[in-house]
Structure 1
Amino acid sequence: MSGFAYRVDREHVERIDIHHALTCDRGELVWVHLTTGDDRARKWLTERAALSDYVVDALTAAETRPRCDQFEDGALVNLRGRSDEELGAGDPLASVRIWATKGHVFSVTRRRLSALAEVERCVEGGKIHDPGDLIAEFATAITADLDPEVADLGDRLDACEEGLNQGKIFELRQTVNRVRSEAIGYRRFLNPQRAAIEKLAGLPGHWIEPDDRLHLTAAADRAARMAEELEAIRERSALVHDALTDMRAEQLDQRGLELSVAALVFLPLTFITGLYGMNVEGLWFADRPWAFNAIVGLCAVIAVAITGWFLRKKWVSR
C-alpha cells in the first residue's frame, strides 16, 4: 500500500507519514490519500481509520461511477478524471473516491489521477484549509484537466469536416470513429459527475463553507458545459460519418457507371472482332487486302460515336 498524508492548519502545511496521520491532535485538516484499493488499504481504513464498512466498501470498490452520498456526519464522493496511465476505451477516466468529515478527508485512487498533482500543489501552497476546500479543489482540478481533452475532440472533428472534400474517406472515417468513441466514453461519466458535484454543493454541513459551495457550483457548470459539448460532438460525428458513407456510396456508383460505359463502348467492337475472328468461309471482304484497315476504322468510328453520345448525355465526365 502506498500513499501520503498532509496536516494543515491556518499557519502550517506539513506532509506526514500515513501511519501517524490519525494521531495528530493539531490542525484543522488531515488529508490521507491511498493509491491502491487492495486488501492492505481496506485493512488500514477499517482498523486504523476506524471507518464504517459502508464507507470502506465505497472507497475500495473495483467499479464506481460518479456520485455523492451523505452518510452520518460526512459525505462520500466519487469523481472521475483523466489519468496518465493507459486506460480502456470503455472506461477512459480514472476514479477518485473521497470520504470527508469535519477535520479529515480520506481519498483512494486505483489509477494515477492527473489532477492529483494540482491538488497537492494547492495544499502545499497553503490554499486548502478545510475539507470543503479540498473537495472543491478536486472537482475544479478534474474539470480543468478534462476541458482541453474535450476541446481537442472538437478540433479533431472540425478538421474532419474540413477534409470531407479531399477524398481521404478511409482515414477520415477512422478519425471520426475514434472521436465518437472517446466522446461517448467521456460523456458517460460527465453527466453523473455534474449531478454529484451539484448535490455536494447543496449538502447541509458546517464543514462546507459558502465559498466552497461557489467553487463546486462553478465546477458543476463547467462539467455540464463539457457534457453538452460532448453530446454535440457525438451528434456531429454521426452526421460526418453519414456524409462519409454517402460519399463512399457515390464513389462506388460513379465507378460502376464508368465500368458500365466502358463495357457498352467495347460491346459492339467485341461483336465485330469476334465475328471476323471466326475461321469459316463466307465472311464479307475476307479476301480483300484493305479489309483489316476498314474494320479497324469502323471500330474506331463506332467507339468515338458511342463515347460522344455518353458525353452528350453527361453520363460520364469530360
Structure 2
Amino acid sequence: MTKPPRYQRRRRSPPGTPPGTLTADPDAGETRVRAIRFNAEGVSEDDSLAPCAPGSILWLNIDGLADTDLLQKIGTSFGLHPLALEDVVNVHQRPKAEEYEAHQFIVLRMPEPGQDGLHTEQVSIFLGDGFVITVQEHAGDVFDPVRTRLRNPLGQMRKRGADYLCYALVDAAIDAYFPVLEALGEKLEQLEDTVVFDPDAVDMGDIHVLKRELMSIRSAILPMRDVVATLQREETQRFSDNTRLYLRDCQDHAVQLIETIQTYREIATGLVDILLSSQSNRANEVMQVLTLIATIFIPLTFIVGVYGMNFDDMPELHWRYGYPAVMGIMGLIAVVLAIWFYRKGWLGRR
C-alpha cells in the first residue's frame, strides 16, 4: 500500500511555458458545470452556459480541472484573463486578490479533511459585471449555506449584487475553518490531559501530526486575511461601499482564526516539552532506583569479595556461626541503607 506524501506536492507548468497556457493535470477531477441564476423574483439552476437575462446574477460553479478546452471556452465567453485562467489550473497558488480590466480574480484555500490528514483545496473566484465564477479542484465544497440562502424566497441575497455573492463565498470559505479548528482543539485538549496524567500513553507522532495540520491551516488563513484587506480598499472597484462593510466581518473572522491557530500551536509546542520532560523524569526515576540498588549492593559485594579470598588462616571460616553471622551483617547493612535512603527522600517518595 503506497504511503501518501507527508506534504502535498502541487503540479506546476514546465519551465519556459508561455504565460496563459492551460496544461491539464492528469490527476485532475472530471469537469462539471453548475449554474445558478437569480434575481429578486426567483432563482433557477441548470448546467448550461447560457447568459443571464438583464437584471439577473449568474453564479457559475465549475468542479474539476480536467477539461481545459471548456475552461478556455468559459474564459473567452466571460472575458477572463489568460493569466488568471493559468492560475486556476495550476493549483499551487497562494491566496491572493488581483484586479483585471474585466473582472476581479480571487484565490482562496478551502479546508478538505481526509483520511490521511487535513489538506486544503484551491478555490478560484471571478467577479465581473453580473456574474460570479467559482472554480474548484473537484466536486464538494463549503458553499451549500450560500446556495440555501439563494433558494430561500424570504432571504435578502437575491436582492443583492454579484459583489455581495462574492463576499458570501469568501466568508463561507473562511468560516469553514472554524469547525476544523474546533475538532483540532478537542484533540489538543485530550492530548493535554493525557500528557499530564498518563504521559506513557501519548505518542509523540500524534502531537506532530496536530502541529502539521495547524501549520497547514495557518499557511492558508494568513494570506487570506491579506486578501480580504485588499478587497476592502477603495481602489477595488468591483465591491460597493455597502459590501465592504461586510468584508470587515470576514477580516475579523480571519484574525480570530489566526489568533486561535497561534494559541493552539503554542499549546502543542508546550505539550511536546511537557512530554519530553515527563519522559526525562521517568528515566531519572529509573536511574535513581537502579543507583540506589547498586549502592546497597556495594558494601555487600565488598564483604562477599573479602570472604571469597582463598586464605586458610581466616578465623571466621572455621567458626560454626560464621556463615549466618556474615549473612546477618549483610542483611543488616542492606536494611540500614534502605531506611537511610527512605528518610532522605530518595526511596519510596515522590
Question: Which range, TM-score by smaller chain?
Answer: 0.7 to 0.9
Aligned twin of 1:30? 58
Superposed, 1:136-285 pairs within 5 Å as: 136-169=167-200, 171=202, 173-204=204-235, 207-277=238-308, 281-285=312-316
Counterpart check, 1:96 vs 2:123: yes
User: What pairs with 1:56-135 in structure 2 (closer than 5 Å)?
Assistant: 56-86=85-115, 92-125=119-152, 127-128=157-158, 129-135=160-166
Query: What does 1:297-308 align with in structure 2 at a 5 Å threshold?
Result: 297-308=328-339
Q: RMSD over aligned Cα, in angstroms?
A: 2.5
Distance 1:211 1:169 in 2: 56
Letter in structure 1 aligned against 2:129? K
The one-letter code of the counterpart of 2:188 is L
Q: Distance in 2 between matches of 1:296 and 1:4?
A: 92
One-letter code of the match for 2:133?
A: F
72-81 or 276-285: bigger deviation: 276-285
Task: Report the CA distance shift for 1:194/1:30 in structure 2 as closer, same or farther (over 3 A).
Answer: same
Aligned amino acid, residue 224 of structure 2: Q
Moved over 6 A (4+): none
Percent identity, aligned pairs only, is 22
Give a deviation string over 1:126-158, Cα, whole Å, max 9, x none. 534422122111122122221122233334333
1:174 CA displacement = 3.9
Question: Which blocks of at least 5 consecutive residues in structure 1 are unaligned?
Answer: none
Work out the CA distance in 2 between the residues paired with 1:239 and 1:85: 27
Q: Cα–Cα, structure 1 residues 87 and 62, in superposed 2: closer, same or farther, change >3 Å?
A: farther
Equivalent pair of 2:195/2:202 in contact (CA under 8 Å): no
Count of matched residue pairs = 314
8 Å contact from structure 2 (residues 109, 121) kept in 1: yes
Q: Distance in 2 between matches of 1:105 and 1:283?
A: 105
Question: C-alpha separation between the residues in 1 aligned to 2:162 and 2:294?
Answer: 78
Q: What residue identity is the alignment partner of 1:103? A: G
For 1:94 and 1:170, locate their aligned partners in 2 and report how far apart those are by CA, in whole Å. 34
Structure 2: how far apart are the matches of 1:50 and 1:73? 6
Q: Which amino acid in structure 1 is aligned with residue 282 of structure 2?
A: Q
Given residue 66 of structure 1, which amino acid in structure 2 is its aligned partner?
A: P
Query: Does 61-70 or 265-274 show the bigger shift?
Result: 265-274
What letter corresponds to residue 178 of structure 2 in structure 1? D
- Distance in structure 2 (CA, Å) of the matches to 1:85 and 1:302: 63
Alignment gaps of 5+ in structure 2: 1-30
Confirm or deny that 1:14 pairs with 2:44. Answer: yes
> Does the 8 Å CA contact 1:94/1:113 hold for their aligned counterparts?
no
Q: Is the 8 A contact 2:185 2:264 kept in 1?
A: yes
CA gap 1:218/1:153 in 2 versus in 1, 3 angstroms: same
| Distance apart, 1:275 and its partner CA | 4.0
**Residues 275-303 of structure 1 deviation map (CA, whole Å, 9 limit, x = unaligned):** 44456534442233422221221110010
TM-score by length of 1: 0.88
> Matched residue of 1:93: which SS?
strand
AA matched with 1:136: Y
TM-score relative to the length of structure 2: 0.80
